[in-house]
Amino acid sequence: MYKSTGYIKNILSLSILIMFLIICLFVAVGIGAVDIHLKEIMSIIFLGENTDNRVILMDIRLPRVMISAVLGAGLSAVGGVMQGVFKNPLVDSYTLGMSSGAALGAVLSIVSGIGIFGYATTGVFAFLGAVATLFFVYFLSKTKNRVSINSLLLSGVAVSYFLSSIISFMMMLNRNKIEQIVFWTMGSLSSATWQKLIFSSSFILPGILVLCFFSRELNIMSLGEESAHYIGVDVEKLKYILLVICSLIVGAVVSTGGTIGFLGLVAPHIVRIIWGSDNRKLIPYSAIMGGAILMLSDALGRVLIQPAEIPVGVMTSIMGGPFFIFLLKKQKTKGA
């Protein structure tokens, strides 16, 4: 039966992906202002040896690389899910304004100095910003119980611009905090710590698991919302759950690393090209792929123009922008 052969193929694909992730991890940990060789990495991590580079590796590189893996995974899983929910390959947390909303939330908490949730305040604000923006964009593009994808994209872009200009305005008013704010808008992992890793992972990793849990329903959604309804899927509830989880993940990502653009768009597409659009594979594979890509992008950003650092959000946008245009063009020719 085709099920068993598919099973073996799945395990094989998954192993290859995880291998790829591990290789990327070692590369990303190894390169930087100081290059650390694989041998040394191994001996520090597994044998606990106390070499010159131990502090760099354990306190700076490793948490940073692992955070980039987690954030990349979160953004890419969210991108894949949102493309499925809206049945459009051009959608991700960035194009729908969620990332800008989260950034605005984070900036608001920094500027106002509110600390009601203690350490997590910025994270909570980022999450609320993401949710509020998503629902606002969704509401804007909803006419008579239907959400047109074109108006969804347009309102997403419009709201995104609007929020970005508010962020710029706040930067103007709060010149003393400008560096902190720029961090959110450009996306940077330079302040990574183990604490941040634990904080973001505790939202993002369970979030990805929940998204995987709904992958079968998401597959059925590809037939169209009406058809999905006829097969017994509670479409409105499903969309609601998925979008809230997505907002949660995006909020956690943005509060940790700022807005990191295009990754959520690109990673699922690479997976689609290789493994197809079955969400049962797409979501976990995109997560791994996205984690690997973000680790590499951040590592590249660290070494390309030393001693300066390119923020990771800038790196992903530089690489992802052209890919987005390529997709748009491809879709246009398909539609014609």
- Answer whether 184's CB lies under 8 Å from 106's CB: yes
- Answer whether 71's CB lies under 8 Å from 260's CB: yes
DSSP 56: I
Instruction: Select the residue interacting with another protein from 2, 48, 305, 336 (CB under 8 A).
Output: 2
DSSP 190: T
Determine the interface stretch with another protein among 26-34, 35-43, 226-234, 293-301 (rule: CB under 8 A). 226-234
- Answer whether 99's CB lies under 8 Å from 130's CB: yes
The least distance separating another protein from the CB of residue 234, rounded to whole angstroms, comes to 6
239 binds another protein (CB under 8 A): no
Determine the interface stretch with another protein among 150-158, 180-188, 212-220, 259-267 (rule: CB under 8 A). 212-220
Q: Is 304 helix (H, G, I), strand (E, B) or coil?
A: coil
The least distance separating another protein from the CB of residue 230, rounded to whole angstroms, comes to 4
Determine the interface stretch with another protein among 25-33, 36-44, 222-230, 287-295 (rule: CB under 8 A). 222-230
The least distance separating another protein from the CB of residue 237, rounded to whole angstroms, comes to 10
9 binds another protein (CB under 8 A): no
61 binds another protein (CB under 8 A): no
Q: Report residue 287 CA to chain centroid gap.
A: 9
Rank residues 13 and 88 by Cβ distance to another protein and give the closer one.
Answer: 88
Peptide bond into 206 cis (omega under 30): no
Q: Which tokens is 163 given?
A: 């929020």
83 binds another protein (CB under 8 A): yes
The least distance separating another protein from the CB of residue 279, rounded to whole angstroms, comes to 9
Bridge partners, residue 147, by sequence: 142
223 binds another protein (CB under 8 A): yes
220 binds another protein (CB under 8 A): yes
216 binds another protein (CB under 8 A): yes
DSSP 332: H
Element (H, E) at 85: helix 62-85
The least distance separating another protein from the CB of residue 260, rounded to whole angstroms, comes to 24
Q: Which tokens is 230 given?
A: 């006829």
Q: Which of 334, 281, 321, 274 is nearest to 77 (CA)?
A: 281
Residue 80 CB: number of other CB atoms within 10 A?
32
- Answer whether 295's CB lies under 8 Å from 63's CB: no
Rank residues 210 and 314 by Cβ distance to another protein and give the closer one.
Answer: 210
Query: What CA dihedral angle connects 101, 104, 109 and 113, to 10 degrees?
Result: -170
Determine the interface stretch with another protein among 195-203, 219-227, 246-254, 285-293 (rule: CB under 8 A). 219-227
230 binds another protein (CB under 8 A): yes
Report the alpha-carbon distance of residue 180 to residue 193 in Å, rounded: 16
Determine the interface stretch with another protein among 47-55, 109-117, 229-237, 289-297 (rule: CB under 8 A). 229-237
Q: How many CA atoms lie within 13 A of 35 on its CB side?
A: 5
Instruction: Select the residue interacting with another protein from 43, 88, 180, 190 (CB under 8 A).
Output: 88
Report the alpha-carbon distance of residue 314 to residue 295 in Å, rounded: 14
Instruction: Select the residue interacting with another protein from 30, 63, 89, 261 (CB under 8 A).
Output: 89
CA gyration radius, the chain: 20
The least distance separating another protein from the CB of residue 217, rounded to whole angstroms, comes to 8
Instruction: Select the residue interacting with another protein from 87, 139, 148, 178 (CB under 8 A).
Output: 87
Residues numbered 253-272 forming contacts with another protein, rule: CB under 8 A? 272
84 binds another protein (CB under 8 A): yes
- Answer whether 162's CB lies under 8 Å from 176's CB: no
Site for another protein, rule CB under 8 A: 1-3, 83-84, 87-89, 213, 216-217, 219-220, 222-224, 226-227, 229-234, 272, 276-278
